[in-house]
Structure 1
Amino acid sequence: MILKYPIIPITFFTALGIFAGYLQPDKSVVLICALLSALLLLTAWWQSKQVLLQKPWFTVAAWLLAFSLGMAVQYLHFGPNKGLHYTHAKIENPVIRGVISERLKPNKYSEKYYLEVTAVDKQPAVGTILVNMPKDKFAKTLHPGDVLFVAGSPQPITNARNPYQFDYAAYMAKQDVFHQINLKGNYIIAGQERDFSYYIQKLRDRLIGSFSIHNFKPQTLQVINALLFGQRQDMDKQTTDSYTSAGVVHILAISGLHFALLFWALSRLLAPLKRVPKLGNVGHFIIVLGLMWGFAFITGLSASVVRAVVMFTIVMAGDALNRRANIYNSLAVSMLLLLIAKPAFLFDAGFQLSYLAVFAIVGLQPLYNRLKRSKYKALQWVKDTVAISFIAQVGVLPVTLYYFNQFPLLFLLANVVVIPLSNLVLGLGIATLLLNFTIPAVAIWVGKALEFSIEIMNGFIAWVASFESLVIKNIPFTLLLNVLLYAVILLLVQWLYKRRFKYAVACLCSIIVFQLAYMITSYNAKEDEELVIFHNYKSSLLAQKNPAGITVMSADTLALQNRVIADYIKGSFNPTVRLKPMRQLLWHNGTKVLVLDNLAVYPAGIKPDVLVLTQNTKVNLNRVLHDLKPAHVVADGTSHKNVVARWAATCQKQNIPFHATAEKGYYTVK
């Protein structure tokens, strides 16, 4: 079926090449692969002209070339491969000049921005650095276009410090961002660079600011900013969690739904242009397309936004040329163009979810169309909404389980109500925005209807999310299981299209393979024995795992609610867990572990294999090392970094291996 649309395998192999390029092959390998695949393609093309019955060599050569080009694209886009990248400037404590390009979602402690580097110590440079600005009353708000001079060396982004934890450093590396720098008295704002991002931000701020006349509640403004402008940075955690638990978080992302409504509105408003002789249709096409791309830039060009606007561009271009574009080819072409322009999209969860949902809807719609349609429009609309929501959920299910490890059982109910409500909110939002600049008095009344609609939608979503027992959380799911589950879904769809015995057998075999893989993965995870010393700031956390389950040891009575422990339990496929008070002396598979806390009391002559230092314990470490002679010393996250640095220096003098969880992450005893 895929071979009917040649651009699909070309896009697939290009994506595969980008993934291979992410593994950072040598430049010579990339170049040789590209040249050999190009030569092979030319040879296959020449041979195909000599024979009547074609062989698959030309197709295979084209796939190899697509793979090689994917590697080359990733290599060319990878920042450190560029000669002017800031990482090549071997300067201690440099002065970095850069321009703020984007504000990211802040955390509890700091605001986050992207800084596009332009110079290092007055020498031209390129690259992107993550900037952290502490949240305090003296901190200034930065905006796209702000020019900064920052003194200090960028530091590597902190990677995951505990097992099965989200690795922020790996995520940022896939966005071509490798270092961060903290702003606190080490920078100056030296004006603004009025580039494209600056003017887009100014326009966005003006549009968002027009809603100030309504005095909306913060929650209402947050939904408006998300739905109309794609700005979710300030969305409060409770609202986001409610949308996620209800299975409707996709409503907050700008997607094809928004562009379909915008396209319909613009086409209606600008329809009179088509009556203009000669250039009417061309003018209508250019203006509508330009406004849609302008909206895409205002919303921040997220993966789902770019996918939607590129798709509409292809469809509109096909209509303008009187050529009906095939939906599969349109999707594949848009995906290929986006990956060539920005290979990092391949690793973006929004990009993956967006395309998987659309492919699922397009691929399974013919099966749904076979069902009998209702003569009642309202009932048919409900059926269509339920079917599309279910199909989209099936399409993204494996990726959702892999990234978010949860599944909302009430997602169909939530979507049936929220989708029409979100359409109403979107329409009222656009109308209110236009009236804010034209007839403010009318905008106030329309704004009241908008606020009421958002409150109804938020209230309903919060009600659905309140059924916590109907949200399956902490589902362990590996990349292998993700791939195997997609194999099950694809073979099941193949069988639904062609009810043949061989497809039924293949589908059943894939289900059995998936079940076996899940059982083996779960068994291996539970049977693995280890003692883990976690990195945790507030209290010491240790866990001992064996086939009987996991024993968590901590002075904190709420340790099982700690995110660190929750991630570890999930990654271990949810075995039996029990909590016990922290013990000073532990044994694990013949390894003796001694824990020294703030009491600084220890038995003499015990000679542990691992000495764990916690809570800034006030001991004379030289004497302790002399008395106990440990093979390894570990400092967990409960001690201050200056204290840990002294301990590290002491151990270095005595040639004893030292492990600080704040620097190296968790420590494991097998």
Structure 2
Amino acid sequence: MLSAVAFPLFRLLLVYISGVLIAICCPIEPFHAVMLLIALKMLYLVTWIGFKAARLLSKWPHIIGLLVIFLVGYSNLVLQIAPYQKLLTWTNQPIEGYTASIQKVYHSLSCKALITHIKANSGWHKHPASIQLFFSKKSGYKPQKGDTLLISGTPTRIVPSKNRELPPPYASFYHPSMHRHVLKQIDRDFIYLQPVCKNRQWVRVIREWCSQIFEKQLQDTTARGVVAALLWGEKDGLNPDLQKAYAQTGTIHVLAISGLHVTMLYLIMKTIFRFVFSRIGYWILPELLSLLFIWLYAGLCDFTPPIVRATIMITMARLGLLMGRGSNSYNGLIVSAFGLLLWNPLLLFNCGFQLSYSATLGILYLQPFIHRLTTLKNYWLQKIWTATTLSIAAQLSTLPLILFYFKQFPLYFIIANWLVIPAIFAILMLSLALLVGSHLPIVGTLLGFILNKLIVATNGWVCWVAKWPMSTLSCCAVNGRSACLLYVVLLTTSLFLQYKQLIYPVTISICTLFYSIDQLQLILSKQKQCKMICCNHHQLSFTLKDGIETLGCNRPLSKSSPLRHYAGGTIASWYKKMILTIDKIPIDWHRWHGAKLDIDYLLIDEKLLSDMDIILKVCNIKTLVIYTKEVRPFYYHPAIKTLSLAVIWLQPGAKKVFSWPKNL
């Protein structure tokens, strides 16, 4: 059991997180928070020196020290969100330009970027925000991740102000791309800035070198995408359907760089270094080189939280054993979490951070209990049982978060992981071997062939399991309160199995009662909501639901149905919302001179973007849903440049749900 006495850092971490949470609820001015922190630090020093000089034992220095840690978390978050509270509103005050760093490339002419600074009449200001950039073919520029651009002009807003109800800094979290900008000519609309600091250039060089080798040896684009995701976490080359299959089988964690990959690479490199240095006799050298390698690998993966967590835990464990002081996995976990939250307290609300630490804590705490349930004498059966208990512990500890974030839970995760995890280990070994032996013609070709076939077989297994009946439990969505209650039930259940005290079943019963009430309220609230579900199955299809009735646009329509077909598509009036689909432009729209139609949701095919002038002459649109034919169609179209409305690009196979209250 985790104890604040046994693990002092655990107590400090809880106090620090409490300060972060209080800062979310009750923020104050950054100056006041910093001054209060400085005053409390001075009080702590004076109290500590005074009691030590008088040789008195008192709890006051410890209490004041905990308050200092609390204020460190509070002021750290306040300082982190301070730039968001001073944002300039682009719709009210035009800007002269801004600097942006490219974060994700969709294709050769569009990307997602992070704005770092903007220039207004009053000078340069720090302004963290996201933006979509679109480049003209004539510019000759191809965006690359990590490039920094100096851009002239004011971007175009794509989300109206009335829809941005969340205050800073949380609005940008829920609307990650609120602005777009079209850049036509280099040196006029934008300038590529040469990086002043070249410390990260080695990352790009290594990735490009690896990509060239894999592109030469692996003919299948899906195989190259899987290798890139496994080695440095780049998922741009993965098929969305393949990612969905991995998610439905509970094996999506192997495609996200995590502690599993770091541990595998550490074991591989440790074995290699031990073999190389076996004759020298320096037994400590393989350990140090292996640790150095995983830290370099963490830099190659941009020091993402799961990688840093696993690297710190492995480093502390190995260094503790080398120094003869032993190691404690909980201390490594707490130190890594404390360090990451000191660096960026907003990581506490990051989905990847929460899943990574929940899974690791479940493996450390729950796996030993599950593993002791049975003892197998056969060596291989014992190994399979150990791997199974690891998977069960990780899934149990992340169950509330999975239901909260993804609204589904995989039922065949044990069966899928039995083959996927060993296959991923083999893929990592073959990938490293291919990088080393790629210059050897026969060896490189043979390794590439084996690696390609192994990836295809692994993907085939995952896709086959995903097609099994009831592969996912999708009717168990929970909210934040229910997720917290599930964690309390999980913790108290494990404590009851360990200590057998009556207080734990009572706590479980109370939490179960509150969870049932919360779920009942959720069901009743859903019955008061009506929904429109848009699905892109290569046609303009949507479904209307109100908790009682379900209507599909492709089903035969009755006389009482709110859906009607017309010359251009389908029109529906559903609980005071007008929904219109357009397959083709009706002939009479070209000569339209009447009043405009108020349309809440307009669903069109991307080929009709060239006829937006005709559509806007007939309709007043609030929300535009564009059904695309490409997997990544994030391109810019001039016809929707000046529209002050929410534009949603619905990719093939994607689904978008719109909901509103019935009594609107």
Q: Do both proteins adopt the same fold according to a TM-score greater than 0.5, normalized to the shorter chain?
A: yes
Aligned to 1:289: 291
1:478 partnered with 2:479: yes
CA distance 1:281–1:510, change in 2 (3 Å): same
Q: Secondary structure at the match of 1:196?
A: coil
CA distance 1:509–1:37, change in 2 (3 Å): farther
CA offsets per residue over residues 162-186 of structure 1, 9 Å max, x none?
A: 99xxx9x987834997754333426
CA offsets per residue over residues 454-485 of structure 1, 9 Å max, x none?
A: 11111110100011433122532111101100
Q: Secondary structure at the match of 2:309?
A: helix
Alpha-carbon distance in structure 2 between the residues aligned to 1:160 and 1:401 = 31
Quote the RMSD (CA, aligned, Å).
Answer: 4.7
CA offsets per residue over residues 131-190 of structure 1, 9 Å max, x none?
A: 424599778431245342323324567499999xxx9x9878349977543334263453
Alpha-carbon distance in structure 1 between the residues aligned to 2:428 and 2:465 = 21
Equivalent position amino acid for 2:504 in 1: Y
Selected match of 2:269 from 266, 270, 281: 266
Alpha-carbon distance in structure 2 between the residues aligned to 1:295 and 1:30 = 37
Q: Secondary structure at the match of 1:469?
A: coil
Instruction: Please identify, of 113-122 and 325-334, the stretch whose mean Cα deviation from structure 2 is larger.
Output: 113-122
Q: State the percentage of identical aligned residues.
A: 22
Selected match of 1:237 from 232, 240, 254: 240
CA distance 1:516–1:145, change in 2 (3 Å): closer
Q: Give the count of matched residue pairs.
A: 598
Aligned to 1:181: 180
- Map 1:15-30 → 2, pairs under 5 A: 15-22=17-24, 24-28=27-31, 30=33
CA distance 1:249–1:46, change in 2 (3 Å): same
Aligned to 2:413: 411
CA distance 1:470–1:72, change in 2 (3 Å): same
CA offsets per residue over residues 282-331 of structure 1, 9 Å max, x none?
A: 86565433322221122233221222122223223323433223211110
Asked if structure 1 preserves the Cα contact closer than 8 Å seen for 2:320 and 2:326, the reply is: yes
Asked if structure 2 preserves the Cα contact closer than 8 Å seen for 1:495 and 1:507, the reply is: no
Equivalent position amino acid for 1:243 in 2: Y
1:348 deviation in Å?
1.8
Alpha-carbon distance in structure 2 between the residues aligned to 1:585 and 1:221 = 45
Aligned to 2:201: 198
Instruction: Please identify, of 253-262 and 237-246, the stretch whose mean Cα deviation from structure 2 is larger.
Output: 253-262
Q: TM-score, length-normalised on structure 1?
A: 0.75
Aligned to 1:575: none
Q: Secondary structure at the match of 1:181?
A: strand
Asked if structure 1 preserves the Cα contact closer than 8 Å seen for 2:580 and 2:601, the reply is: no
Asked if structure 1 preserves the Cα contact closer than 8 Å seen for 2:136 and 2:184, the reply is: no
Alpha-carbon distance in structure 2 between the residues aligned to 1:364 and 1:172 = 37
- Map 1:38-53 → 2, pairs under 5 A: 38=41
Aligned to 2:71: 68
CA offsets per residue over residues 391-419 of structure 1, 9 Å max, x none?
A: 10000000000000011111111111211
Asked if structure 2 preserves the Cα contact closer than 8 Å seen for 1:211 and 1:436, the reply is: no
Aligned to 2:229: 226
Aligned to 2:381: 379
Aligned to 1:302: 304
Aligned to 1:605: none
Aligned to 1:358: 360
Asked if structure 2 preserves the Cα contact closer than 8 Å seen for 1:13 and 1:67, the reply is: yes
CA offsets per residue over residues 223-251 of structure 1, 9 Å max, x none?
A: 11111221112211011011011110001
1:2 deviation in Å?
2.5
Asked if structure 1 preserves the Cα contact closer than 8 Å seen for 2:30 and 2:79, the reply is: no
Asked if structure 1 preserves the Cα contact closer than 8 Å seen for 2:115 and 2:131, the reply is: no
Instruction: Please identify, of 7-16 and 134-143, the stretch whose mean Cα deviation from structure 2 is larger.
Output: 134-143
Asked if structure 2 preserves the Cα contact closer than 8 Å seen for 1:406 and 1:475, the reply is: yes
CA distance 1:531–1:121, change in 2 (3 Å): closer
1:341 deviation in Å?
1.4
Alpha-carbon distance in structure 1 between the residues aligned to 2:51 and 2:368 = 36
Aligned to 1:502: 503
Equivalent position amino acid for 1:462 in 2: C
Structure 2: gaps (5+ residues): 566-570, 583-588, 605-611, 622-642, 649-657
Alpha-carbon distance in structure 1 between the residues aligned to 2:471 and 2:510 = 30
Q: Secondary structure at the match of 1:362?
A: helix
Equivalent position amino acid for 1:68 in 2: L
CA distance 1:597–1:281, change in 2 (3 Å): closer
CA distance 1:387–1:646, change in 2 (3 Å): closer
Equivalent position amino acid for 1:226 in 2: A
Alpha-carbon distance in structure 2 between the residues aligned to 1:489 and 1:326 = 23
Aligned to 2:219: 216
1:446 deviation in Å?
1.8
Aligned to 2:585: none
CA distance 1:159–1:595, change in 2 (3 Å): closer
Alpha-carbon distance in structure 2 between the residues aligned to 1:212 and 1:172 = 40
CA offsets per residue over residues 472-504 of structure 1, 9 Å max, x none?
A: 225321111011000100100111111222223
Asked if structure 1 preserves the Cα contact closer than 8 Å seen for 2:533 and 2:542, the reply is: yes
Q: Secondary structure at the match of 1:476?
A: coil
Alpha-carbon distance in structure 2 between the residues aligned to 1:98 and 1:354 = 29
Alpha-carbon distance in structure 2 between the residues aligned to 1:89 and 1:276 = 68
Asked if structure 2 preserves the Cα contact closer than 8 Å seen for 1:408 and 1:471, the reply is: yes
Alpha-carbon distance in structure 1 between the residues aligned to 2:38 and 2:280 = 51
